[in-house]
Amino acid sequence: MTDYCDVIVDILTSKTDKTFTYLAPENMRLQKGDRVLVPFGPRKIEGIVLRLKDTCDLEPSVMKFVLKKLDPQPAILEPLMDLAMEMAQSEQCPLAATLRLMIPAQMRMDRVKPKTETVARWLGGDLESAKEQQGRSQKRKLLLDLLSDGQVQAVSQLKLLVRDPLPALKHLSEQGLIDLSEREIFRSPFQRAAELLPDPVLTSDQEIALSEILPSVEKGKGSFLLYGVTGSGKTEVYIRAVRRCLRLGKTAIVLVPEIVLTPQIVSWFRSRFGDVAAVLHSRLSSGEKYDEWRRIRRGDARVVIGARSAVFAPVSDLGIIIIDEEHEQSYLSEHTPSYDARKVAQFRCQREGATLLLASATPSLVSYAKARRGSYMLLEMPRRVNNLPLPHVELVDMREELRLGNRGIFSAQLQFKLKECVQRGEQAILFVNRRGYAPSVQCLNCGKNIQCPSCEVAMTFHREDQQLHCHYCGKIEPLPKTCPECASPYIKPMGVGTQRVEEEVKKLLPDVEVVRVDADTTQGKHGHKRQLDRFRQGKARVMVGTQMIAKGLDFPSVTLVGAVLADLTLNLPDFRSAERTFQLLTQAAGRAGRSQRQGQVIVQTYKPEHYAIKAAATQDYLDFFKVEFEKRKRGLYPPFTKLVRFLVRDDSLDKARQKSGKLLIEIRKALQNNPGWKKEVIFVREDEAPIRRLMGRYRAQVFMKVLEQKEPSPFMAYLTDLQERSEGDVTLQVNPPSLA
């Protein structure tokens, strides 16, 4: 018999975990993973049962009882508990923090509750005499008639037929004629039930890929990297693999990178699997998220589609995890505890006997290198569905345009093609990787950019409110009339953002509806849906957007894609800038020509000779991979090395630099004392961070390049420990998504 349980309480005040032993009340059947309410000093607090035990060293009289079991089933499944422990270990954070990843935030501290409705049911017997019993109440007689078929009926439904039925129903219930009870209803993000669609005939590439994946799914193992060009029909491969899982009584998780894409892929999945599919993402209301989570936990939803955090979905009998567009940055979470959804997925698949399927038209360099080494099995789909050609890509040298006297943001070719496309009744997508109207505002006299008062970054001019916005901290400031530095009145918005592109399209094509899709227009739960719907219905002819729209979307009548300024990502001070540019352009190009009409892509650039741009123009992944891989090898960049830094934040630059200086001295000393570590470390230096001030805090860093090792590295363990011991705001980052 279990008398005691160890509970980890949901408190994150320190780096150590708080686990306490409680008495388990006899009538409360507790299980490992249960969410419980326990007394904690003067408070009541939530916790998770870590283990049950029948002995305890403590004196029972000083111990307290678990107050309440909060859910019918354990909230944390066994393999997810292991995962939480593993992550707490590797991220050096409390288990309570990693456990929070596994439960919707709304569930903690009871911020949402199951929603119920009152239902009524006739208990049977002689209907006529029951009606007679009601004397002159026509309402009760009518209600008895309505319930006489014995079906459970919601009071809200009866209300449509009978005014204010509840008092009468209560009366009938007191007479013992009907049963009134509460029934749980699940809030669903879908308005309608899914319409089921038939399966298409597979292409031969899809057949071949599936002939490898399906047997693996049967066996519950295998890791694959599916490299399939845009429009090769990767989604259909996912659907078939998921279906095999369901037939085997298993479950599936499908991760997608951007919420903007979710409606499309979700509707595809729902049209094939119906309500067995659940979605989990941050745009759901609390109630919906909570209910979808419970639908999954109870096993009613067996296919989970969602953004990165859905990798923690509480499915049992996991059969496959699919990661669509696996190269996307959004699979990295930078919040603490930070994680890489791809690694978490791999861990879960190994632990739970499931197949891992990573897929992309532009696999990340690291994943493709792994596949070449044999860590993943490489599958290829080099052709588009129906043998549609890949779109034709044309590079336009914007320097040439300038020479010809065109100072506008559209080249002559792009203007011509845009008009032609719209005249033919087709659609176009234009993308530029900056939201707002102009990414900077410059003084023409002294050359100064106007910066955010809290961050050392240029502010973006927005057209809607005619104000300056900081895209790092969200601060909004009025546009000054004169330069804050030299008082010159000549200040001018510079560069191109989505709002500017939208404006220019409207000037060029005054009668055409344009939709804009970026973080500013996609606020709120259904924010993105309205714009995408206008475009899908063909009412809007041109879509302007950021990288959000460059990937995954499937609009058959888009025949033209324009990259307004391809170099924006290329100029970022980051070793991944070429990779990101190639990915972005190839993905964007992939939006064109996805049905019978040939697609055309125009890439405007000031660097047409750059290898990333050239490879994107030929859409040749392997070409790009080879050049980039060699460059990384020669320059000692990931995957050959790790870029590691301590980021120090403080309220003055001096203080931040003092701290980073001290860290540098410590690390140098440690290297001196451990000569064996030196061959691993290529360099260590101390500096200001590239963005010196963010949200009012100054930033300094110790930056290191460390050779990638096969064995766990004692040097890295030392760094982790050093961070633990450091005081103040110091974070250790390994290959962070941004080095700014």
* Residues near ligand ADP (CB under 6 A): 200-203, 206, 228, 230-236, 385, 554, 594
Q: Shortest Cβ distance from residue 360 to ligand ADP (Å)?
A: 9
Distance CA 359, CA 339 (A): 19
Contacts of 497 (CB under 8 A, 6+ apart): 432, 434, 435, 436, 437, 438, 439, 460
H-helix or E-strand spanning residue 544: strand 542-545
Q: Shortest Cβ distance from residue 253 to ligand ADP (Å)?
A: 18
The option from Zn ion, ligand ADP, none interacting with 454 (CB < 5 to 8 A, set by class) reads: Zn ion
Residue closer to ligand ADP, measured from CB, 230 or 364: 230
Q: Shortest Cβ distance from residue 497 to Zn ion (Å)?
A: 17
Q: Shortest Cβ distance from residue 206 to ligand ADP (Å)?
A: 6
Q: Shortest Cβ distance from residue 381 to ligand ADP (Å)?
A: 7
Residue closer to ligand ADP, measured from CB, 466 or 598: 598
Q: Return the residue of 454, 577, 713, 720 that touches Zn ion, per CB under 5 A.
A: 454
Count of positions (residues) in the chain: 740
The option from ligand ADP, Zn ion, none interacting with 109 (CB < 5 to 8 A, set by class) reads: none
Q: Shortest Cβ distance from residue 202 to ligand ADP (Å)?
A: 5
36-73 b/e (C-beta count within 10 Å ≥ 16 → b): bbbebeeeebbbbbbebeeeeeeeeeeeeebeebbeee
Residue closer to ligand ADP, measured from CB, 234 or 289: 234
Angle at 603 between CA 599 and CA 604, to 5 degrees: 145
Residue closer to ligand ADP, measured from CB, 200 or 447: 200
Q: Shortest Cβ distance from residue 549 to ligand ADP (Å)?
A: 14
Q: Using the rule CB under 5 A, give the single segment among 160-168, 472-480, 513-521, 619-627 that binds Zn ion.
A: 472-480
Site of tokens 């409680």: 22
The option from Zn ion, ligand ADP, none interacting with 692 (CB < 5 to 8 A, set by class) reads: none
The option from ligand ADP, Zn ion, none interacting with 443 (CB < 5 to 8 A, set by class) reads: Zn ion
Q: Using the rule CB under 5 A, give the single segment among 147-155, 162-170, 328-336, 463-471 that binds Zn ion.
A: 463-471
Q: Return the residue of 24, 307, 443, 501 that touches Zn ion, per CB under 5 A.
A: 443
Residue closer to ligand ADP, measured from CB, 174 or 199: 199
Q: Shortest Cβ distance from residue 334 to Zn ion (Å)?
A: 17
At 97, list the tokens: 């923090």
Give the count of beta carbons closer than 10 Å to the beta carbon of residue 730: 20
Residue closer to Zn ion, measured from CB, 344 or 452: 452
Q: Shortest Cβ distance from residue 209 to ligand ADP (Å)?
A: 11
Contact 731, 646 (CB under 8 A): yes
Residue closer to ligand ADP, measured from CB, 153 or 230: 230
Q: Shortest Cβ distance from residue 10 to ligand ADP (Å)?
A: 40
Beta strands in 334-471 (DSSP E): 339-340, 355-360, 377-381, 392-397, 427-431, 440-443, 460-462, 467-469
Q: Is 470 in the site for Zn ion (CB under 5 A)?
A: yes
Contact 368, 622 (CB under 8 A): no
540: left (phi over 0), alpha (psi -120 to 50) or beta: beta
Q: Return the residue of 488, 523, 618, 709 that touches Zn ion, per CB under 5 A.
A: 488
Q: Shortest Cβ distance from residue 323 to ligand ADP (Å)?
A: 13
Distance CA 328, CA 579 (A): 11
Contact 335, 329 (CB under 8 A): no
Distance CA 723, CA 731 (A): 7
Distance CA 95, CA 82 (A): 10
Q: Using the rule CB under 5 A, give the single segment among 53-61, 133-141, 351-359, 439-447 that binds Zn ion.
A: 439-447
The option from Zn ion, ligand ADP, none interacting with 452 (CB < 5 to 8 A, set by class) reads: Zn ion
Alpha helices per DSSP H over 112-199: 127-132, 138-147, 155-158, 166-174
Residue closer to Zn ion, measured from CB, 90 or 454: 454
Residue closer to ligand ADP, measured from CB, 23 or 202: 202
Q: Is 445 in the site for Zn ion (CB under 5 A)?
A: yes
Q: Return the residue of 197, 248, 412, 446 that touches Zn ion, per CB under 5 A.
A: 446
Contact 428, 558 (CB under 8 A): yes
Q: Using the rule CB under 5 A, give the single segment among 349-357, 418-426, 450-458, 578-586 that binds Zn ion.
A: 450-458
Angle at 559 between CA 557 and CA 562, to 5 degrees: 130
At 31, list the tokens: 């299980």
Q: Shortest Cβ distance from residue 356 to ligand ADP (Å)?
A: 18
Residue closer to ligand ADP, measured from CB, 417 or 594: 594
The option from Zn ion, ligand ADP, none interacting with 432 (CB < 5 to 8 A, set by class) reads: none
Site of tokens 């019978």: 596
Alpha helices per DSSP H over 364-411: 365-373, 398-403
Distances (CA, A) of 369 to 373, 616, 619, 629: 6, 19, 19, 8
217 SS3 class: helix
Q: In what order do the strands lie in the sheet containing 35-40?
A: 19-23, 4-9, 43-53, 35-40, 68-69
Residue closer to Zn ion, measured from CB, 121 or 697: 697
The option from Zn ion, ligand ADP, none interacting with 231 (CB < 5 to 8 A, set by class) reads: ligand ADP
The option from Zn ion, ligand ADP, none interacting with 718 (CB < 5 to 8 A, set by class) reads: none
Contact 319, 248 (CB under 8 A): yes
Residue closer to ligand ADP, measured from CB, 359 or 443: 359
Coarse DSSP helix, strand, coil percentages of the chain, rounded to the nearest 5 percent? 35, 25, 40
H-helix or E-strand spanning residue 184: strand 178-185
The option from Zn ion, ligand ADP, none interacting with 453 (CB < 5 to 8 A, set by class) reads: none
Q: Is 459 in the site for Zn ion (CB under 5 A)?
A: no
Q: Is 468 in the site for Zn ion (CB under 5 A)?
A: no
Site of tokens 């040097």: 715
Residue closer to ligand ADP, measured from CB, 594 or 645: 594
Q: Shortest Cβ distance from residue 268 to ligand ADP (Å)?
A: 7
Q: Is 640 in the site for Zn ion (CB under 5 A)?
A: no
In terms of Cα–Cα distance, which of 361, 253, 378, 243 is closest to 303? 253
Residue closer to ligand ADP, measured from CB, 165 or 228: 228
The option from Zn ion, ligand ADP, none interacting with 475 (CB < 5 to 8 A, set by class) reads: Zn ion
* Torsion sign (Cα): 90, 91, 96, 98: negative
Q: Is 444 in the site for Zn ion (CB under 5 A)?
A: no
Residue closer to ligand ADP, measured from CB, 48 or 385: 385
123 SS3 class: coil
Residue closer to Zn ion, measured from CB, 445 or 720: 445
Q: Return the residue of 11, 37, 52, 473 that touches Zn ion, per CB under 5 A.
A: 473
Binding site for Zn ion (CB under 5 A): 443, 445-446, 448, 452, 454-455, 470, 472-473, 475, 483, 485-486, 488
